[in-house]
Structure 1
Amino acid sequence: MSNNHPDANIHPEATGPAKATAKAHFAPCDLQFYSGWFCPFAQRVWIALEEKGIQYQYIEVNPYHKPKSLLDLNPRGLVPTLKWKDKPVYESSVLIQFLEEAYPHHSPKLMPEDPYLRWKVRVWTDFITTRIVPGFVRFLGAQDEKLLEEQREEFLGHLKEIAKAMDPEGPFFLGRDFGAVDVMLAPWAMRFWAFDHFKKGGLGVPDKGKGGEDEEVWERWRKWVEAVKERRSVKETMSEREHYLPVYQRYADDKAQSQLAKALRAGKAVP
């Protein structure tokens, strides 16, 4: 892809805590993890690898340059992509379950054993893919005040819906244990600051004690967010905010050229 692509000139490597984590996994390894430090989809897999203590080689790529080594594994040139036993494995929502099955002796388990809870995890990971992720992009990209308010209200409705589905005590989605739904949603929640930075009125989650009739739901959401923010695997796969700013500025201006942004702009589903 041409270097003129607006997203091609992002900062070339992870910074802050994520830089140290990437450096710790620089050495060659049987499992290779092709990632982009800025990508929330890639961060899902990175969190899962760190949680489970799986040995891997971190390979930073710019998917807008699409190096041959990545294209040889994944013709679409997307991150995250794993090279496992010389085979390509990709798609972040599927990779979480793949790691569970490929490394069954690594703990903690991110998928529950109980069939009902496994069903619940699958339902809500699909909800994140089909509601929260596109809602994030549409909300951040809204350009006029009326549309901004509409998208904010819809997005907050999605957050309330998933908060209502959480275990009442928590702090994580299914309770005390960090799991697949938390992994899927955490990278997006860690980027919610973008609404406060770029959009008038910000994210709109009410402050503690100001949620009205929905205060109990919002308090459960706040509890989840605080627990996720303090999770080591989440913190140590985040880069410094200053380097995310130009990436999300393009989303806020509705000019991002990622496959996700272009698909949603065209009225299509998450690719």
Structure 2
Amino acid sequence: MSAHPDSNLYPEASGPAKALVDRRRPEQPLKLYAGWLCPGLVPTLSTPADPHPRPLYESTVVLEYLEEAYPAHKPYFLPEDAYERARARIWIDYVTSRIIPSFHRFLQYQPADGSAQNTDAGLDQIRQEFLNHLKAWTKEMHTEGPFFLGEDIGLPDLVLAPWAVRLWVFDDFKNGGLGIPREGEGGSDEEIWSRWRTWLAAVESRRSIKETTSDLAHYLPIYKRYADNTAQSELAKATRAGRVVL
């Protein structure tokens, strides 16, 4: 048996995600290869081409390809206006370059000396960094929404959604929890957090999110490894080393 810390990861999707996989088993011109916890270069999309299909990977790249390859399908993931498309890409980049790395620094945080001394101070600092990134992103949302760009879900939402729907990990594994104020307790930031709650509720209620979610019981062991800073994914190793994933 392998001694790799992640070797006993549950091997396949479960719950609603497994049901979706089973319904989509017949061959299609487009085929998505996706790990239920996204290890490696997944999702990878096999795109139709002669004489052989061609692969694309990285979530944002795949989504933009689908937008451009199938323009008749609406709603669009990005605005039609050139300026608004560019602005949306700024905040997509903010998710990948600020929010997601901060999420993992928060989740993997351990005191530098390996002891419990000063744990709360360091954890509070890194928690606040993460919350500040969420606030900065939320301030740029469409005022009514419910999604980032307005009434319809778009690429900024889809890039952040996989992490947003797993914010429970902080309440489960980190002393003091996530730290987002309860409704009515946000003080001067209440309007921002109210808008965040509206956005998150809209994302969590989408069928596409629900049907691509596995059973909670299978997420817990792997996220505990992240919280203990023992996970061995490339993302976890990059976070420990203070670098971006290459």
TM-score, normalised via structure 2 length? 0.91
CA deviation digits over 1:65-84, x for unaligned, max 9? xxxxxxxxxxxx52111111
CA deviation digits over 1:78-133, x for unaligned, max 9? 21111112111111121111111122222221111011210121001100001111
Structure 2 residue aligned with 1:117? 84
CA RMSD of aligned residues (A): 1.3
Distance 2:105 2:202 in 1: 26
Distance 1:4 1:80 in 2: 26
SS in 2 for 1:170: coil
Contact 1:82 1:88 in 2 (8 A): yes
Distance 1:167 1:109 in 2: 16
Distance 1:268 1:38 in 2: 21
Amino acid at match of 2:70: Y
Structure 2 residue aligned with 1:190? 165
Specify the structure having the higher radius of gyration (Cα). 2
**Aligned with residue 204 of structure 1, among 179, 204, 207:** 179
Structure 2 residue 221 is matched with structure 1 residue 258: no
Shift of 1:200: 1.0
Give the ranges of 4+ consecutive aligned residues of structure 1 lying more than 3 Å apart after TM superposition: none
SS in 2 for 1:89: strand
Identity of aligned residues (%): 56
Distance 2:37 2:165 in 1: 12
Structure 2 residue 220 is matched with structure 1 residue 245: yes
Contact 1:82 1:89 in 2 (8 A): yes
Amino acid at match of 2:219: Y
Amino acid at match of 2:24: H
TM-score, normalised via structure 1 length? 0.83
CA deviation digits over 1:210-268, x for unaligned, max 9? 00011001100111011111011111111111100011001100111111111121111
Distance 2:145 2:75 in 1: 17
When structure 1 is superposed on structure 2, of 242-251 and 6-15 the one drifting more is 6-15
Contact 1:129 1:270 in 2 (8 A): no
CA deviation digits over 1:129-162, x for unaligned, max 9? 0111100100011123222111100000001001
Structure 2 residue aligned with 1:84? 47
SS in 1 for 2:46: strand
Shift of 1:5: 2.2
Number of equivalenced pairs: 234
Distance 2:9 2:220 in 1: 10
Structure 2 residue 12 is matched with structure 1 residue 37: no
Q: 1:112 to 1:243 in 2, by over 3 A?
A: same
Structure 1 residue aligned with 2:73? 106
Structure 1 residue aligned with 2:115? none
Q: 1:33 to 1:217 in 2, by over 3 A?
A: same
SS in 1 for 2:45: strand
Give the unaligned 5+ runs of structure 1: 40-62, 64-76
Amino acid at match of 1:98: Y
